[in-house]
Every structure is written in C-alpha cells, then in structure tokens.
Amino acid sequence: MVWGIVLSLALHGAMVGPGMAQTIDTEPVFLDGLFLFEVPAAGDLTAVERALAIEINLESLIEDANPALVRTETRSTGDTGGSNPIIFAGDRYIMTVTSADVAVGGASTPQAQADRWADALAAALSQARTERQSGFLTQALVKALAALAAALVLHLLTGWLWHRWLKPLLERLSFWPTDSEQHSTGLKLLFRLTLVLVRGVVWFLAVSYVANLFPLTRRVSYRVSSSLQEGLFDRSLLLGSRSYSLFDLLMVMATLLALVVIASTVTNLMRSRVLQVTGISLAAQEAISVLSKYTLILLGTVVVLQLWGIDLSSIALIASGLGIGVGLGLQGLVKDFVSGLVLVFERPVQVGDFVDFGQVNGTVARIGSRSTEIRTLDHVSIIVPNSRFLDSEVINWSHGNPVSRIRLPVGVSYSADPQQVKIALLEACQKNQEILTAPAPQVFFLGFGESALNFELLVWIAQPSRQLVIKSDLYFVIEASLRHHDIEVPFPQRDLHIRSGYLPMSRPSEA
C-alpha cells in the first residue's frame, strides 16, 4: 500500500509544475500582534527586511503620549523622475508604497493603496494605545472565559440537537427497516462526521477569538489561520488542465459520501415500497437492491466528477499507482469485495437461508460488499468475510428447496416389540404440526445395541431454522408415546459374572 501511494504521488508530481502560477513573496506586518497588511520586496530590501523595518518604525509610536497623525505624501523617487506615495506618522517615516505593493494590496493605484494602509495604521495605533492602558488584561480575561463558556454551551447544544432532532429526522427519511440497523452505517457515519465538523468549527472560532484578544498570541493565531487557509484554498493540485485546492477535494469527498447515503436511501425505499409489493423472494429483493445501489453510486460518482471538471484520465493515471498498493496491502479486502459480487450474482447463499458454517449455524441476515451477517439461533450476529463462503464448505439448508429432513435416534429396551415401537414413533409425528405429511415420516430399525434396540426416526420439515425447536418438541411427544405403549427406554448396563468364589493366593518364601 505504501509503495502504491508513493507511486501515485510520483505520477502526480510529474503532472504538477509547468502550469502552476508563480506567487509573489510577501511578509506580514504586525503591530502589537495585530495584523496590518503584507508587503513584498522593494528595492534592495527583501520582504522580511522591509516588514521588520516598518514594525520598528511603528513600535516607538505606541509609547508617545501625543498620538501622531498618520498621513501620506507624494515625493519624487529620484533619477527616474517618477513619484511614489510615502506614509508618515507625524514626522516619522514609515514606508514608501510602490507598484509592487499595489499588486499585493489590491488597490487601483499606489496612492489609493497608501491611503488604505494609512487608515489601517491609524486604527492599529489607536487600538494598541488602548490595550496598553490599565484594566485591559482583566477585560480580556473576562471575554476569553465568556467565549470558552459559550463554546462549551454550543458544544453540548449541538450534541443535544443532533441526537434529539436531526438523527431521528434522518432515520425517518432514510426508510431503513428498524430491525436491520447495520444498513444505516453510512447514515451514522455522515451524522458523526457532521457533528464533529460543527463542534470543531465552534471550538476553532472560540480559540481564534481568545487568541486575538492578547497581543502575545495574535501573531501565532494569524500564522495558524493563514497556514490553514493556504493549505485548504491554495490551488496547488493539478488534475488534467485544471487546478484544485484541498478544500475542493474535501467537498468532492463530502459530496460522494452524501451520494452513498442517498443511494442507500433510494434503494431501501425501493425495497420497502416497491419490491415488497411485487411478491418476489427476500433474496431477490436483496440482490436487486445491492445491484441498484452500486449502479447509482457508480453513475453518480462519474456525474459528480464531471460536474467538478475533474479529468477522469488523470484520475485513472493516479489510480494505476494506487492499484499496486491495493494489490499488495488490500488484497484481502478486494478478495472479500469480489466474493460479495459473486454471492450476489451466483447466489449460492441468499438472505434468509439457514446455513451451517463451521461451528456456526444461523440465518443469513445481510450480504454486504465485504462481509455477510449470520444471525444465530441465539440472536447473536456473526460477521463473516465473504471470501470464506467460497473457500470453505457451507451447508445451506434452504438452497433451492427449504424442505429438509432431520434424524432423531431412539433406543428402546430389548423387551419391546419393534412393531409397537414403530407405531408409537409414527403416532408422535402426527401430533406435531410442523412435520410434513408428504414426504411421510419413516422409522428405520438400525440394529442391536449393547443395551437397547436402536431405531431412527426421519421426518421432513419446511423450516430448517426451527429444527432445534422441532426436535425438542418431538422428543417430548415421543417420550409420552413410548410411555403410553409401555415401552421402556433403557440405560446402559453391565453384568458381572463371577465363575468361582476361590481366589488362590501364595505367600513369598522367606529368605
């Protein structure tokens, strides 16, 4: 699996590069942790050196008792004859705004950009002076505690709303039968993911708000936020002729997950409202539902990828590398999936069949894409990989025809009349309504045992899953019938015959 991922990344790396846009190297400017703007390199100064120089010029202005007026002036740049606006705070030089700043700041002209940044500097200086006053720290701590308390309340409230309102609503809309909760796995996964996502957003906003209250944590908060924003929204992944961001891929994955849930809902609605009315067997309903579900998922996936403009040929190239990882690390999972398709098409085992599988016997409750659920007579669900049904011997009592025969051994005393035994056993069969009259029950005289005459009663039943109950009920009736005909059921006996009462004994000779 690891080598497949490495190969896929290598193939992706071969596609990325020539078409990627070049970005301008910038550096953010802070004042007491407050983010002001980003500046590029200018002249002989790099972006980092320029941002550091601006911060040094601003830092001394915070301590001034008289607030300085932030203004802009336009001066000639020298030999070129051009002019650039310059930002001053009082008489102190702050920075010169160049055409490169316009490309970063987004203004139409250098003068418009200088006016915009001058307003930002004035607001930041005013806020920084306010935060240097006494009492600010106490107010910030109160606001932080209030924000965290609000986040905790929202955390609990979203959980309550999800469990009391949204989850029951989704379950009603899913049309899943109440006795098969395993079919709602996709819905439960979507439910948990959305709940975790909402709670994560709540706590992220709360922590970001708290971090922006204090000058020491603002810079860290900005770095984290900008890194997340760049990682999520930067279109650095090239598929075909278009580039995508990580957020785009997450949205595609969320759409595909929603597609799986919708396909499951539609197929379960079809099973409960359409297929049950047709009167076809439960196994046929399950097979049609499974095929319909995967067909909808396949067609929906193709449509979603086309709507997002993702080139399927580029995905096939990446998938070829992942195929090596699948072959090496996920061959067991693929084997179970293929075996599930074989079970659906060939149908050696169907939903509702009663099977003996090793030490397990029970009814097939569900055939999934990877595993099959067997519900035992104790109502315990056992999950069996699909491949084991094709690799091992499975006794299917319901395959083709559910009518099957069960055997009940019976031993009676040597003093009993074999014909009376046969009559008593057949009379017992007539008192059980679950035993079929055609084929008729049979009694076989197997032979002479050590302590009893051995018979075997063979009866036919139509419900193999109830064979344990039928055997028990029939044995109760057989015991009463034998007692009615005065036929004794023996227990093992041993006769000891002593031929002589004399046991010779000899004493060893003394030395």
The three-state (H, E, C) secondary structure of 310-376, written as one string: CCHHHHHHHHHHHHHHHHHHCHHHHHHHHHHHHHHHHCCCCCCCEEEECCEEEEEEEECCCEEEEEE
Which of 511, 416, 396 has the alpha carbon at shortest distance from 464?
396
Chain Cα centroid distance, residue 323: 21
Find out whether 233 and 50 touch, Cβ atoms under 8 Å: no
Provide the CATH topology of domain 404-485. Answer: Alpha-Beta Plaits (3.30.70)
Q: Where are the alpha helices (DSSP H) in 175-330?
A: 185-211, 215-233, 246-270, 276-278, 282-307, 312-329
Helix (H) or strand (E) holding 459: strand 453-461
**CA–CA distance, 397 with 380 (Å, rounded to integer):** 19
| 445, β-bridge pairs | 455
Residue whose structure tokens are 């910038």: 26
| Cis bond before residue 441 (omega within 30° of 0) | no
**CA–CA distance, 291 with 287 (Å, rounded to integer):** 6
SS (H, E, C) 151-197: HHHHHHHHHHHHHHHHHHHHHHHHCCCCCCHHHHHHHHHHHHHHHHH
**CA–CA distance, 456 with 445 (Å, rounded to integer):** 7
| Residue extents of the structural domains in the chain | 20-132, 135-233, 349-396, 404-485
Side-chain half-sphere exposure of 61, counting CA atoms within 13 A: 26
Tokens of 408: 């009940």
pLDDT attached to residue 42: 85
Side-chain half-sphere exposure of 153, counting CA atoms within 13 A: 6
pLDDT per residue of the chain (511 residues) written in tens, 0 to 9? 333 333 333 334 433 444 444 567 888 888 888 888 888 988 888 888 888 888 888 887 777 667 778 888 887 655 445 678 888 888 888 888 888 888 888 888 888 988 898 888 888 888 888 887 778 888 889 999 999 999 999 999 988 888 777 767 666 655 444 444 444 555 666 677 788 888 989 998 999 888 888 888 888 888 888 888 877 787 777 766 777 788 888 888 888 888 887 887 788 788 777 877 777 766 677 777 778 888 888 888 888 888 877 766 666 656 666 666 656 666 777 777 777 777 777 778 888 888 887 778 888 888 877 788 888 888 888 888 888 888 888 888 877 777 888 899 999 998 899 999 999 999 999 988 889 888 899 999 999 988 889 999 999 998 888 888 999 999 999 999 999 998 988 877 777 776 665 556 666 665 4
Neighbours of 503 (CB within 10 A): 6
Which of 192, 187, 184, 188 has the alpha carbon at shortest distance from 368?
184
b/e per residue, 334-370, with b = 16+ CB within 10 A? ebbbebbeebbeebebbbbbbbebeeebbbbbbbbbb
Domain formed by 349-396, architecture: Roll (2.30)
pLDDT attached to residue 73: 86
Who's near 382: CB < 8 A, 6+ residues apart?
360, 362, 373, 374, 375, 376
pLDDT attached to residue 229: 80
Tokens of 497: 């015959």
Which of 262, 257, 259, 256 has the alpha carbon at shortest distance from 175?
262
Find out whether 35 and 26 touch, Cβ atoms under 8 Å: no
**Tally of residues, the chain:** 511
pLDDT attached to residue 19: 40
Assess whether the region 349-396 and the region 404-485 belong to the same CATH fold. Answer: no
pTM metric for this prediction:
0.51
**CA–CA distance, 95 with 420 (Å, rounded to integer):** 118
Find out whether 455 and 412 touch, Cβ atoms under 8 Å: yes
**CA–CA distance, 144 with 397 (Å, rounded to integer):** 67
Who's near 39: CB < 8 A, 6+ residues apart?
26, 27, 29, 47, 50, 51, 54, 95, 101, 104
Tokens of 208: 């970001």
End-to-end CA distance of the chain: 86
Phi, psi (rounded to 5 degrees) for 248 = -60, -45
